[in-house]
């Protein structure tokens, strides 16, 4: 059963997200010799990326691979690029080997970009029947309850194959994206769902009540059903307090 933890403000939320990431990634790297971390885009992870960069010495980065859970099809130097945010705030500051940090190939058309990024996943360590073991997964959440680039009512939610797929009509700009599928999340060990701000309170409440029409709730359910753990980390505003 997912755990919900509430922090007084976005800054203390970010400190907890960063502390858990450092602990879980380093533990997985120690246990298995390699750890895969699924990064998130959007506004909420930024502060946690900064804190992790300040504590870079606490992680065996040479054993870590990162992938972006979803990417917007914009150039990698565009302000809307999820990868650019991660590079600027974290990846340029920690010694992850080049082989463990392949940028989403968004210079390609979305279908080709998705297929190419699926190949990147296929080359990661720790392959399972659901693709690579995802030791530590960050999921952000939109006000509509979307996570990754999986939007309420959209057909991408029905894809059970563990893969990366294109999205061509995202209701949140830009319309073209690539995203992990729910099937790929079945290989998750530990997932943090991170949300801050009053704009997210209604979606958090709906997810908490078990509304599986919300992609983020369905993602949490999918991970737990496959044996992974899910922890929601919220600030008071997102928790509706």
Ligand X SMILES: O=C1O[C@H](COP(=O)(O)O)[C@@H](O)[C@H](O)[C@H]1O
For position 81 contacting ligand X by CB under 6 A, the verdict is no
Residue 224 CB, nearest approach to ligand X (Å)? 19
For position 204 contacting ligand X by CB under 6 A, the verdict is no
- CA dihedral (221, 2, 229, 17) in degrees, to 10, reads 120
For position 145 contacting ligand X by CB under 6 A, the verdict is no
CB 38 within 8 A of CB 137: yes
For position 44 contacting ligand X by CB under 6 A, the verdict is yes
Only one of the segments 6-14, 36-44, 102-110, 124-132 lies at the binding site for ligand X (rule: CB under 6 A); that segment is 36-44
Neighbours of 135 (CB within 10 A): 26
Only one of the segments 28-36, 40-48, 99-107, 184-192 lies at the binding site for ligand X (rule: CB under 6 A); that segment is 40-48
**Residue number with CB closer to ligand X (29 or 228):** 228
Who's near 86: CB < 8 A, 6+ residues apart?
Answer: 39, 41, 45, 49, 66, 68
For position 70 contacting ligand X by CB under 6 A, the verdict is yes
Residue 95 CB, nearest approach to ligand X (Å)? 24
For position 82 contacting ligand X by CB under 6 A, the verdict is yes
User: Which DSSP state fits 104?
Assistant: P
Q: Could you tell me which of 163, 196, 155, 168 has the C-alpha nearest to residue 182? A: 163
Q: Is the peptide bond before 14 cis (omega within 30 degrees of 0)?
A: no
Count of all residues that appear for the chain in the document? 241
Who's near 227: CB < 8 A, 6+ residues apart?
Answer: none
Residue 160 CB, nearest approach to ligand X (Å)? 21
Which helix (H) or strand (E) is 195 found in, with range?
strand 188-195
For position 172 contacting ligand X by CB under 6 A, the verdict is yes
**Residue number with CB closer to ligand X (72 or 101):** 72
**Residue number with CB closer to ligand X (63 or 145):** 145
Residue 193 CB, nearest approach to ligand X (Å)? 10
**Residue number with CB closer to ligand X (126 or 145):** 145
**Residue number with CB closer to ligand X (132 or 140):** 140
When binding is defined by CB under 6 A, the residue of 22, 40, 106, 182 that contacts ligand X is 40
For position 142 contacting ligand X by CB under 6 A, the verdict is yes
Who's near 11: CB < 8 A, 6+ residues apart?
Answer: 47
Quote the CA–CA distance of 84 and 45 in Å, as a whole number: 13
The residue ranges that bind ligand X (CB under 6 A) are 40-44, 70, 72, 82, 140-142, 147, 149, 172
């Amino acid at each position: 059963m997912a755990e919900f933890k509430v922090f007084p403000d976005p800054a203390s939320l970010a400190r907890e997200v960063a502390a858990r990431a450092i602990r879980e990634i380093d533990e997985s790297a120690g246990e298995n010799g390699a750890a895969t971390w699924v990064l998130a885009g959007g506004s909420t992870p930024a502060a946690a990326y900064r804190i992790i960069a300040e504590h870079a010495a606490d992680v065996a980065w040479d054993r870590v691979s990162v992938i972006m859970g979803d990417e917007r099809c914009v150039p990698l130097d565009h302000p809307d690029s999820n990868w650019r945010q991660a590079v600027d705030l974290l990846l340029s500051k920690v010694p992850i080997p080049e082989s463990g940090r392949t940028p989403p190939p968004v210079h390609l058309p979305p279908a080709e970009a998705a297929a190419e990024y699926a190949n990147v996943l296929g080359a990661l360590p720790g392959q399972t029947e659901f693709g690579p073991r995802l030791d530590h997964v960050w999921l952000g959440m939109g006000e509509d309850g979307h996570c990754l680039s999986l939007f309420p009512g959209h057909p991408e939610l029905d894809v059970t194959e563990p893969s990366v797929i294109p999205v061509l009509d995202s209701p949140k700009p830009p319309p073209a994206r690539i995203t992990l599928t729910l099937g790929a999340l079945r290989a998750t060990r530990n997932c943090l769902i991170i949300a801050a701000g009053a704009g997210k309170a209604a979606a958090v409440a709906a997810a908490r009540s078990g509304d599986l029409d919300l992609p983020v709730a369905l993602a949490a359910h999918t991970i737990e059903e496959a044996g992974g753990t899910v922890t929601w980390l919220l600030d008071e505003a997102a928790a509706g307090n």
